[in-house]
Chains A and B, each alone.
Chain A
Amino acid sequence: EADIYQTPRYLVIGTGKKITLECSQTMGHDKMYWYQQDPGMELHLIHYSYGVNSTEKGDLSSESTVSRIRTEHFPLTLESARPSHTSQYLCASSEGAWGRPQHFGDGTRLSIL
């Protein structure tokens, strides 16, 4: 069963719209992550957070922004969506010491027309 939830699961929307992808976890994990996944490619980290009020950019440059006001919530926002943002976005969390495995949500598949 999923302890980390992403909504919406699928989103098709026009260029220029503001989008927020939601991610919530009920496990109390301090660390949370956003990955971008494209077919045949490795997962690319775009944002991560150590805890509340902590956010950092990942390896892959992204025009999206994130916030971490509550431990359980880590939303990702695109102010003005473009076709190049079309991808699958995966949220993950982990607890405690570094090296612990990450728990993933089921992803949001985003299509920008």
Chain B
Amino acid sequence: AQSVTQLGSHVSVSEGALVLLRCNYSSSVPPYLFWYVQYPNQGLQLLLKYTTGATLVKGINGFEAEFKKSETSFHLTKPSAHMSDAAEYFCAVSLNSGGYQKVTFGTGTKLQVIP
């Protein structure tokens, strides 16, 4: 069975500070990994994804994430937070399960950016 743990349901950072959102997963085989962002009253939008290859993945809006197999982690970072980054962020794991792609989402982390 696969699972996703996002540490911290709420994270606050000052504008211009480093953003670090944590995601750990459990899976019997290397999964596909995703980060999505959700703004109020909207659906989820893909930030970045890891499938194979380079373990440091760059996404939209200056975000990046690093896949660390030994730590089973896929933390999301951004060097300098902007006010527009305030949103909820979801980590997701995807595995083939009986011919179907099973996607498991974390419970989300709400990012607050303080001016």
Report which A residues bind B (CB closer than 8 A).
2, 4, 6, 9, 31, 40-43, 45, 48, 56, 59, 90, 92, 94, 98-99, 101-107
Contact = CB atoms under 8 A, between A and B. Distances in A.
Given A101-B34, A101-B49, A42 B107 contact: yes
Interface stretch (B61-69, B71-79, B98-106): B98-106
Contacts of B51: 99
Interface string B28-46: 0000101010000111111
Looking at chain B's contact residues, is the secondary structure mostly helix, strand, loop, or mixed? Answer: strand
Given A40-B9, A42-B4, A42-B108, A102 B103 contact: yes
Given A56-B100, A98-B96, A99-B32, A43 B105 contact: yes
Contacts of B96: 98
Given A99-B94, A104-B43, 13 more contacts: A40-B9, A41-B107, A43-B44, A43-B90, A90-B44, A94-B101, A98-B94, A101-B34, A103-B46, A106-B42, A106-B43, A107-B41, A107-B42
B29 to A, nearest CB: 12
Nearest to A59: B102
B101 A99 contact: yes
Contacts of A40: 9, 107-108
A105 B42 CA distance: 7
Contacts of B32: 99
A99 B107 CA distance: 20
10 contacts: A2-B43, A40-B108, A41-B107, A45-B103, A92-B43, A99-B51, A99-B101, A102-B103, A104-B43, A107-B42
A105 B105 contact: no
B106 to A, nearest CB: 6
A42 B34 contact: no
Contacts of A41: 107
A90 B90 CA distance: 14
Contacts of A4: 43
Interface in B1-38: 4, 9, 32, 34, 36
